[in-house]
Structure 1
């Protein structure tokens, strides 16, 4: 385990990447593509996994998953993993935690917001492979959840829109985070 000062997380060598955006904007696909391109030693801290699967919790202000996302990302960074935090992560609910994580990280941090217009969100949602999820989540749900450019304050995020292909987005993030020049550690 890496020794850290209070409030400081990771090392100069760790990378922290945040991927935010509305449902069906491509966050999970980008995170999976980053891991596939990079290899081992890249932790994916997915909001859906921690909130819906681990805790089975609704997304609401002050919910327990906010702290669990923070704790999981910090733990992985402190153990030498590069970390991708991905999810809708509404700015008003998750912003303080995300900003604190960015401030505390000693290594390179890059934050991205995947901006997809609502009409494209609906089209992309229809292509999800999980039939059970599609049966329970309809256009009305997507409309209720959708927030246009729900950006964090202080221009922390680079906005990536639909003109960027999945591979272009993955390559941009690898390049800008420096992961394209870091060797993975086979754990």
Structure 2
């Protein structure tokens, strides 16, 4: 059984924290985490462009996991313009696909960013250039995560959704 979980949102919204917590809820070797930043910034050292190699590499890595029946968690800013087509193709490969997207104000992302270890690496000016507001995917209804959701709430919702279709015990 292949299960895709997509967690999108602006920089500083909490998606990486949520994705890591979700992965830890599943047995070792059953959940593949594919972080956009790791693939794009660390593996390829490239800028975020529509023709960037990271789009194809994310798709191939996630496809690998889906072919093997893993829970695959793809997380990142994943803007619609650059990644929408790839996310739609991945959703088509999965038996079950769950989509979650953070919808936070720029001010809220700055507050959340201030508590991150990356806070010293970049600030409000850089984040303003990356911020795109609410950008829904056109092919699926995403669970819209607003400021009222805590990390635990989001993790619990994703876990519950996946367990509802997975063969693993809770």
Q: Structure 2 length as normaliser, TM-score?
A: 0.92
Are residues 24 and 36 of structure 1, via their aligned partners in 2, closer, same or farther at CA, if it must alter by over 3 Å? same
Of 111, 115, 120, which residue of structure 1 is paired with 2:99?
111
The answer on 1:175 being equivalent to 2:160 is yes
Q: Distance in 1 between matches of 2:164 and 2:75?
A: 17
Q: CA deviation at 1:82?
A: 1.1
Of 150, 154, 166, which residue of structure 1 is paired with 2:135?
150
Could you list the runs of 5+ residues in structure 2 that have no partner in the other structure? none
Could you list the runs of 5+ residues in structure 1 that have no partner in the other structure? 1-12
Q: Distance in 2 between matches of 1:64 and 1:47?
A: 11
Deviates more, 1:96-105 or 1:48-57: 96-105
Paired residues, number: 168
Q: Distance in 2 between matches of 1:35 and 1:103?
A: 22
Q: Structure 1 length as normaliser, TM-score?
A: 0.84
8 Å contact from structure 2 (residues 88, 139) kept in 1: no
Equivalent residue number for residue 82 of structure 2 = 93
The answer on 1:80 being equivalent to 2:69 is yes
Of 31, 39, 42, which residue of structure 2 is paired with 1:42?
31
SS at structure 1 position matched to 2:100:
strand
Alpha-carbon RMSD across the aligned residues, in angstroms, is 1.6
8 Å contact from structure 1 (residues 18, 84) kept in 2: yes
Aligned structure 1 segments of 4 or more residues deviating by more than 4 angstroms: none
